[in-house]
Amino acid sequence: MKILVADNVSEQGVAILKKEHDVDVKLKLSPEELIKIIPEYDALVVRSETKVRKPIIEVANKLKVIGRAGVGVDNIDVEAATQKGIIVLNAPEGNTIAATEHTMAMMLALARNIPDAHKSLKEGKWLRSQFMGVEMRGKTLGILGLGRIGSGVAKRALAMEMKVIGYDPYITEERASAMDIELADVDKVLAEADFLTFHLPLNADTKYLLNKETFKKLKPGVRIVNCARGGVIDEVALAEAIEAGVVAGAAIDVFEKEPADPENPLFKLDKVVVTPHLGASTAEAQVGVAVDVAHGILVALRGEPVSTAVNISAVPTQVMQVIKPYLTLAEKMGCLAVQLAEGPITTVTVEYDGEISEVDTKMLTTAVLKGIFNPLLQEPVNYVNAPAMAKARGVKTKEVKSKDAEHFVNLITVRVKTAKGETEVAGTLFGKEDGRIVMIDKYRVDANPKGWLLISPHMDKPGIIGQVGSVLGNYKINIDRMQVGHAAQAGTNIMVMGVSAEITAAALDKIKTIDGIIGAKVVNFNIG
């Protein structure tokens, strides 16, 4: 496949991609140039410079994945990508330490006037009294956003004997108190912080979180640090607050417009320390994000679920360990059920029995939907768009769970309902990863879901299987495996034959005319 690397990412990440695919590194492309070439590519890798907006995504007809070497995906239109079934993934952990340490450096530089003192000494001046600082110990640090970086900053601030108070709508009281952070509402954090630092994403809720109005809620003399995203603070209002003496100073790494406008009012103020978006700029972090994003891209191009995808709900590692071996099986069960069913599907029910019922199985249900819709639709169906495809077609999806699986440790049953009836298939793993179909409607079977299968319920009487074999032989179709499954009540059986090639409609019609054959379908597992 073809991968375009459009921003400057570490060579180590590019080398990982090159081992499996063709990689073009083309930097500083204009939106027009990107629109022109993007239809050729299966994957796109960016940092924050390249803006992947809707017009680019709309023409990216082969694109399967966009990888962001870093955390923030605000330079990518994630909604447009999701609608087109494109996975957007990031590298959320590679630069956490770099950004955390940069925040501490910025806070200390601000508290001790280091940039100005440094500049003045290099200019030949010795101005000890002009650069009087403040101590961190005993001060209150207010943190907005207690995720990876926010909690890392808290840990370091506590080591410096600061009191830490924070706000994050998605963090529980228990989690905060385990980190020695007092959880409070935004207004309390604003009112009590001597130092206030931002570690949240930029979105509709956080845009201009600090604005003309909210500046009035701050403790006079507060020092503000922003190493998250420009735009969470109104820069003009911040400059005014510093000039008015409400805010004692600010340390800013990120700007509303980047590269920053040289006329930015903050650049004219002595009490402002600035860096040009350097939070992630360490040798270690740049290798880290490039390697992480490269691995994510390879996994996505293999069609496997990616734990760092931002437009699929994240699956915790412990849950992933349990469900991962079942993902291919679940997809194949969807693929089998849809090819056996007749008529438009109205409901898909996925039942999880046994130990597997105790974890979050949403991704497995998505795998079933992926298996169902891939044979039906022209466009590629993946973990991103499969639930949306079901919804758009009015297909109801249900999960049923039970801790007891009668004959197996774990059993997954897929029931596909159409106006004409219900088709049921059940599957499990033999050993650690050998996925098997163990039930087709009322028949107990043991079928390996791969290649082509001829599935034919028939009367339990001699000679039928031999006649089917003769028809296939006449059409030069080889049988490479075969099994007869029994129904609970005697009278009918099902034959499940692995065949070497697709069975033509003519051959299938011949099979259906054999006396005692109840039905015959060919299922193709080579789709998707």
Residues that bind ligand MLT (CB under 6 A): 47-48, 70-72, 95, 279-280
Q: Is 277 a catalytic residue?
A: yes
CA-CA distance, 168 to 239, in Å (whole number)? 26
Q: Is 168 one of the binding residues for ligand NAD (CB under 6 A)?
A: yes
Residue 380, classed as helix, strand or coil, is: coil
Structure tokens at 188: 């309390």
Q: Is 200 one of the binding residues for ligand NAD (CB under 6 A)?
A: yes
Give whichever of 292 and 331 is closer to ligand MLT, judged by the CB atom. 292
Q: How far is CA 309 from the centre of its chain?
A: 1
Q: Is 47 a catalytic residue?
A: no
CA-CA distance, 508 to 522, in Å (whole number)? 8
Structure tokens at 99: 């950004």
Least spacing, CB of residue 184 vs ligand NAD, in Å = 11
Structural contact between residues 1 and 301, judged by C-beta atoms closer than 8 angstroms: yes
Least spacing, CB of residue 71 vs ligand NAD, in Å = 4
Tell me, by CB under 6 A, how many residues bind ligand NAD.
30
Least spacing, CB of residue 79 vs ligand MLT, in Å = 19
Strands 195-198 vs 140-144: parallel, antiparallel or unpaired: parallel
Longest pairwise C-alpha distance within the chain:
106
Ranked by CB distance to ligand NAD, the top (closest) residue is: 147
Least spacing, CB of residue 398 vs ligand MLT, in Å = 38
> Out of 102, 199, 223, 229, which one is annotated catalytic?
229
CA-CA distance, 241 to 218, in Å (whole number)? 10
Structural contact between residues 239 and 270, judged by C-beta atoms closer than 8 angstroms: no
CA-CA distance, 68 to 294, in Å (whole number)? 10
For 208, other C-beta atoms within 10 Å of its C-beta total: 16
Ranked by CB distance to ligand MLT, the top (closest) residue is: 70
Q: Which of 38, 146, 225, 356 binds ligand NAD (CB under 6 A)?
A: 146
Question: Which residue in 139, 77, 80, 129 sits closest to 107, CA to CA?
Answer: 139
Structure tokens at 72: 């923030």
Least spacing, CB of residue 172 vs ligand MLT, in Å = 25
Q: Is 192 a catalytic residue?
A: no
> Out of 258, 399, 422, 502, which one is annotated catalytic?
258
User: Among ligand NAD, ligand MLT, none, what does residue 47 contact (CB within 5–8 Å per kind)?
Assistant: ligand MLT
Question: What residues from 210 to 229 belong to the interface with ligand NAD (CB under 6 A)?
Answer: 227-229
**What's the Cα-to-Cα distance from 165 to each of 45, 114, 153, 195, rounded to whole Å?**
37, 26, 12, 10
Q: Is 206 one of the binding residues for ligand NAD (CB under 6 A)?
A: yes
Least spacing, CB of residue 371 vs ligand MLT, in Å = 35
> Out of 68, 199, 223, 277, which one is annotated catalytic?
277
Question: In the β-sheet with 247-252, what is the strand arrangement from edge to edge?
Answer: 182-183, 163-167, 140-144, 195-198, 222-226, 247-252, 272-274
User: Among ligand NAD, ligand MLT, none, what does residue 370 contact (CB within 5–8 Å per kind)?
Assistant: none
Per-residue contact flags (x/-) with ligand NAD for residues 69 to 108, judged by CB under 6 A: --xx-------------------x--xx--x---------
Q: Is 414 one of the binding residues for ligand NAD (CB under 6 A)?
A: no
Least spacing, CB of residue 262 vs ligand NAD, in Å = 20
Q: How far is CA 20 from the centre of its chain?
A: 21
CA-CA distance, 6 to 89, in Å (whole number)? 15
User: Among ligand MLT, ligand NAD, none, what does residue 148 contact (CB within 5–8 Å per kind)?
Assistant: ligand NAD
Q: Which of 279, 427, 435, 457 binds ligand NAD (CB under 6 A)?
A: 279
Binding site for ligand NAD (CB under 6 A): 71-72, 92, 95-96, 99, 144-150, 167-170, 199-201, 205-206, 227-229, 253-254, 277, 279-280
Give the active site residues. 229, 258, 277
